[in-house]
Amino acid sequence: MAEKLSVETRQHMLKKMLEIRYCEERIQELFLENVIRGTTHLCIGQEAVSLAMAANVDAKRGDTVTCTYRGHGHALALGMPLKSMMAEMMGKASGCSKGKGGSMHLTDMEVGLIGTFAIVGAGLPVTNGAALTAQIKKTGAVSISIFGDGTPNIGAWHEAVNLAAVWKLPAVFLCENNLYGEYSAYGDTAPVPNVADRASAYNIPGVIVDGQDVEAVHAVIKTAVEYARAGNGPTLIEAKTYRYKGHSRSDPAAYRPAGELEEWLKRDPINLLADKMKADGQLTDDQLASMRKAAEKEVQDVTEWALAEPYPSLESVYEDIWV
């Protein structure tokens, strides 16, 4: 059992997980209503990893994060304002990337988020560069790269992990193993039972953790961050988790065996934390119900606000190409 976090931290994590959950559900609806265009990748079911990661990131110290197109949860957990994210989803001028990025390209350096990369594997090499800055400038900062279970099949993944290992970069490689990469089951595309098994090829620690238990994930990331800051180099963490929805908007996830989702729903990350807090006398059912309501309302209010926001000016299409 992982160390218990403070009641304030737990409350914050629960609140944020609820916010992410409702936000993702609302985004899905807005897609179906054609308010949000393109594609989107939801993290429903994986919220604990986002919160555990964010609690170990200190943007003031210079810590940075790279993650994937499945990045709404990470962005919000890090502290990106909900308004800034929702407006970006709709391509509005007040979005974090002025509407030019969209669901797959969220950046907010205020909270340390370099980007949510839409090219599989592209985030890890960039995290190395951020870790290199920290190493050379001796800032004590770390960079965390988050990616999926399909990503270690990309060459760039191996180049990046190898480089971080030989340069002992202050980096953490955090895999969210949600069992599938698009429509392919993890085992159909990788020869090792666990992503973490690949760590031995680079002589770095490889750790497997229950991705639904926010405190457990928090503890292993904390250790990895301290290890990296002490100059020992990167750790590969594999959080076993599950995406409740399909890969993207257009995927009904028909490839999943019957009953699999139901099994995972029994270990929902929000419920797991709420149950712990109830057992420790830190939360009542009524309090939880009102937290849910508050999160839902906040998402709803922000959605209404974002809908009314203006689109970027047409001239802005040619802005921000060069400095």
Ligand X SMILES: Cc1ncc(C[n+]2csc(CCOP(=O)(O)OP(=O)(O)O)c2C)c(N)n1
Residues of the shown chain interacting with other proteins in the complex, contacts defined by CB under 8 A = 37-39, 88, 91-92, 97, 99-105, 118-121, 150-151, 153-156, 181-184, 188-190, 255, 311-312, 314, 316-318, 321
Tell me phi and psi for residue 101, to 5 degrees. Answer: -85, -55
Residue 35 or 118 with smaller CB distance to ligand X: 118
Residue 115 or 269 with smaller CB distance to other proteins: 115
Single out the segment in contact with ligand X by CB under 6 A; choices: 172-180, 199-207, 266-274, 309-317: 172-180
With CA atoms as reference, report the closest residue to 97 among 307, 316, 302, 249: 316
Q: Rounded CA gap, 277 and 294, in Å? A: 18
Q: Say if residues 237 and 175 touch (Cβ distance below 8 Å).
A: yes
Q: Is 68 a binder of Mg ion (CB under 5 A)?
A: no
Residues of span 239-268 touching ligand X by CB under 6 A: 247
Q: Is 161 a binder of ligand X (CB under 6 A)?
A: no
The entry of Mg ion, other proteins, ligand X, none near residue 294 (CB within 5 to 8 angstroms by kind) is none
Least CB distance to ligand X at residue 178 (A)? 5
Query: Cα angle at 298 between 297 and 304, to 5 degrees?
Result: 90
Least CB distance to other proteins at residue 120 (A)? 5
The entry of Mg ion, other proteins, ligand X, none near residue 252 (CB within 5 to 8 angstroms by kind) is none
Q: Is 52 helix (H, G, I), strand (E, B) or coil?
A: helix
The token pair that represents 291 in the structure block: 């937290």
Residues of span 179-238 touching Mg ion by CB under 5 A: 181
**Binding residues for ligand X, how many (CB under 6 A)?**
16
Least CB distance to Mg ion at residue 175 (A)? 9
Q: Say if residues 160 and 125 touch (Cβ distance below 8 Å).
A: yes
Which residues have a Cβ under 8 Å from the Cβ of 12 and sit 6 or more positions away? Answer: none
Q: Rounded CA gap, 229 and 110, in Å? A: 21
Q: Say if residues 311 and 93 touch (Cβ distance below 8 Å).
A: yes
Instruction: Kindly write out the interface string for residues 111-130 of this chain, putting x where it contacts ligand X by CB under 6 A and - elsewhere.
Output: -------xxx----------
Q: How many contiguous H segments (helices) and E segments (strands) does the chain have?
A: 11, 8
Q: Rounded CA gap, 147 and 140, in Å? A: 23
Among residues 70, 92, 245, 276, which is the contact residue for ligand X, using CB under 6 A?
A: 70
The entry of other proteins, Mg ion, ligand X, none near residue 70 (CB within 5 to 8 angstroms by kind) is ligand X
DSSP 80-91: --HHHHHHHHTT
Binding site for Mg ion (CB under 5 A): 148-149, 178, 181
Binding site for ligand X (CB under 6 A): 68, 70, 118-120, 147-151, 176, 178, 180-182, 247
